[in-house]
Each structure stands twice: as C-alpha cells, then as structure tokens.
Structure 1
Amino acid sequence: MLLNRIVLVGAWAAAAALMAWATPRQRVRDALVVFMFKQVITWPLGLLVVQYGFLAYPVREFPQATFASFSFEYFIYPATCVAFTLRFPERRGVWAKLGWYAFFPTWMTALEFAIERYTDLVRYIHWSWHWTWLTLLITFHMTRMFYCWFIEKGAVAPAVKGGTSS
C-alpha cells in the first residue's frame, strides 16, 4: 500500500514539474486551454474503459465516488499533454515532429506498464499496452489539433512584451 502512494505522489510531482517546465509565464493561458481540453477527453474515456471492464484501478483516491483513477485521467495525462503541446517542435522537420508524437506515448506507456506490473494502481483486464499507446497518441493529436485551431481563431491573445500596449 505504501508503494502505491509513493508512486502516486511521485507521478503527481513529476507531472506538475513537467507542466511547470513546459509553460513559460506568458503561455499560462495556453497551458490551461490544453490542460482542460485533455481533461474533457480523458475523464469520460477513463470512465468508459472502467465501466466496460477493460481496466481497473484497485487503489483510487476517491473510491466512494468513482472507479476511475482521478490522478491519471484528471491530472497526470493532461499535465503531460501540456508539455507535449507547448514544447512541440513546430519549426523543425517532419521527422522531429513524428519523433515527438512517438516519444510521448512511448515513455508514458512504458511507465504505465511498469505501474501495472508492480503496483495496484492500475490493472489490465481486457487491455494491453498497445491500447494505451494508441489512445495516448490519438488523444495527444486531438488536443494538439484543438489547440492549433483555438490559437488560429485568436481565442487566446498573444502576450504583449513590455506590459500594456498603447
């Protein structure tokens, strides 16, 4: 039980640190847009995969309220998506972009697989690591496309250097 809590607290700390590293002060609003959009995707999907018996979360933060993992679906995945989106290699070549898309789902899937194997935080029932990798890839791409559309539409005003403009 102690190992589960240590891993959970470590994952929260790592996700928060990653999000803080990825978010320059002038892009906090962008980070919030990405974070909340990813939550809109992961929370319902997390509830569905648990409801249909694909995954189980034996150790949960709110066992009376939900069978899904609040930490993973509502904070850790969205926080990581902030780093993925805000640090995306926009001005680099296609191989750098494809590598970025492959890197994030891969390391997150590897960590989830280790967590599934050595803790009680997640249990694969009718699930496998490749489903995790694929859903992460798809949801990261959806979030990035939404963010690009949102920025293009001017919903998030660019930061003005030097304070207010006259």
Structure 2
Amino acid sequence: MEKVMLWGLLILGSVLLQVSLRKLPFKEWLFVYLLTSYFSIAIGSIIVEENMLTYPIKLLNKHFDSSLLFEYLLFPVVCLFFYQTTYRSTTFNTLLQGGLYTTSLTIIEVTLEKYTDLIKYNTWTWLHTLLSVFVLMLFIRAIVKLICKRNKADIRNEKL
C-alpha cells in the first residue's frame, strides 16, 4: 500500500510542478524550486545521517537514506506554491499563509508517521517539522525576494 501512495505522490508532485511553472516569471519560479531543493536535500541528509528519523520504504532511491521524493519534488513544489501565493502579500499575510502551509505539511507527516511505514521518528518530533519547514519557507522567500529586488535595481542602474 505504501508503494502505491509513493507513486501517487510522485505523479501528483509532477503534475503540480508542471502547473506551477507555467506562470510567469518562469526564471524566478524555477529559482525558488531549485533553491528549496538544494536546502531541503542538505538539511534532510543531515537529519537522516543523525538518525533523527528514517524512511523505511523508499521509491526509486534504494541507495539513499533520505526521501528523495519529498526533498527533490514535494517540498520544493509546496514552497513554490507558497512563494507564488504570497508574491504580493503583506508580511502578516505571508506569515499567516506560511503557518497554514506548514501546519498542513506537519499534519500530513504526522499522519503518515502514525499510520504507515513511510516515515519513522526516532528523536525527531512534529514540532521539529513545524519549525524547520516554517523557517525554511520564509528564508527561501526572503532570499529570492531580496535577489529579485537587487536584480531590478541593477537593471534600472544599467539603463541610466
């Protein structure tokens, strides 16, 4: 049953990625996706190497201890949707949406940990997930916004 769930998540994540990258500005969306993948892979590898959590059942990655499906596809897609939905939001609305996205992901992870063999907490807890995902999503958003603002300023200065 778990393998079917993983295949379903792979298909869902692939479709959502295609949908999210159809909008403009494409380069900015792609940068958010790749930056999120980079950080989630680095952090996820450390967490798994420290044996804080394990992924007993894997899909397409028998040689890796971490969850490539989550770190390469699912979390970056969620972070991309977060970035897109908060693109013109106020700070308060960004924090609120970040809380909603994070809470949703945490509830899904806790449910999967409790009722499936897809993830097992060792020293990790739902609070670790809640805080780390929230901070990482806000960090990615802040970095990309800063880079885009700097890029626009550079373009204006070149025109002068």
Smaller-chain TM-score bracket: 0.7 to 0.9
Aligned positions of 1:26-37 closer than 5 A: 26-37=24-35
The TM-score with structure 2 as length reference comes to 0.85
Alignment of 1:108 with 2:97, yes or no, is no
Q: Distance in 2 between matches of 1:144 and 1:73?
A: 17
Who is 1:87 aligned against?
85
Instruction: Name the CA distance, whole Å, in 1 between partners of 2:36 and 2:8.
Output: 21
Unaligned 5+ residue runs, structure 1?
159-166
* Aligned-residue identity in percent: 21
What displacement does 1:6 show?
2.0
Equivalent position of 1:131 in the other structure: 128
SS state of the match for residue 151, structure 2?
A: coil
Show CA shifts across 1:68-116 (max 9, x none): 011011111011110000111624x554222111101000111111111
- Secondary structure of residue in 1 paired with 2:25: helix
Measure the CA separation in 1 of the matches of 2:48 and 2:99.
26
Which structure has greater helix proportion? Answer: 2
Q: Give the paired residue count.
A: 152
Displacement of 1:40 after TM fit?
1.2
Q: What RMSD in Å do the two structures reach over aligned CA positions?
A: 2.0
Could you tell me how far 1:10 is from its partner in structure 2?
2.4
| Other structure's SS at 2:14 match | helix
Could you tell me how far 1:24 is from its partner in structure 2?
A: 4.3
| Residue 140 (structure 1) aligned with residue 116 (structure 2) | no
Asked if structure 2 preserves the Cα contact closer than 8 Å seen for 1:22 and 1:87, the reply is no
